[in-house]
Amino acid sequence: MTKALLSLSFTERALAVAFAASGALLIAAHLYEKLAGLVPCILCLDQREAHWTALAVAAAGLAAARLFRSRLGAAAAVGAAALVYAVSAGLAFYHTGVEYNFWPGPRICAGGGSVDINAISAALESNETPPSCDDPQWRFLGVSMAGYNMLASAGLFALTLAAAFAEARHARAKRNEPAAREDAS
């Protein structure tokens, strides 16, 4: 396993970490929901969408790099992943601020609507009320799930952005390579 990871470029490793991390975060969120009975609020569901997007982008980038041997495809994917993680960190930052009452959440977060997240048709018949976005159901060491998501997303943003810059430097060096040979002649 270690040998396989070491054979990957920095960009491919960043995409693999992004894929694994977003997958793990989504699995954890769904396990907390199904096993611990924590009902996600609207902002929680938005944050999940960002990780589903990052998972798909990372998978596409890994496929481009490994299956199609496209360094450009992997570079585009790692850049796109950085943008997705920036949005994810922003969403989590906003949600964390709502939880700590730094600013109000959107009206839909008031927890007054009738919503069942399992099916739209069941939502029309359900009397279940989603939790308010400013009332976190779970905290560890004083940090909510949104806070941990903000930290994870910011770290993944930094990693994928570093990989994107590394790819840009590599492409620039490769583009300037023929000019450097001509100057040496």
The pLDDT score that the predictor gives to residue 165 is 86
pLDDT tens per residue, range 55-82: 999 999 989 888 888 778 888 889 999 9
CA 29 – CA 55 distance, rounded (Å): 14
The pLDDT score that the predictor gives to residue 119 is 47
What's the pTM value of the predicted model, to 2 decimals? 0.78
The pLDDT score that the predictor gives to residue 113 is 46
Q: Which residue has the higher pLDDT, 42 or 26?
A: 26
Domain 10-180 falls under CATH 1.10.1240.10: no
Q: Which residue has the higher pLDDT, 138 or 169?
A: 169
Q: Which residue has the higher pLDDT, 2 or 14?
A: 14
In this predicted structure, the answer to whether residue 136 has a pLDDT above a threshold of 50 is yes
Query: What DSSP letter does each residue of the chain carry, written as one string?
Result: -HHHHHTS-HHHHHHHHHHHHHHHHHHHHHHHHHHH-PPP-HHHHHHHHHHHHHHHHHHHHHHHHHTS--HHHHHHHHHHHHHHHHHHHHHHHHHHHHHTTSS---GGGGS-S---TT-HHHHHH----PPPTTS-S-EETTEEHHHHHHHHHHHHHHHHHHHHHHHHHHHHHHHHHHHHHHHH-
The pLDDT score that the predictor gives to residue 5 is 62
Look up tokens 């040496």; give the residue: 184
Residue type, 182: E
In this predicted structure, the answer to whether residue 112 has a pLDDT above a threshold of 50 is no
Domain spans, the chain: 10-180
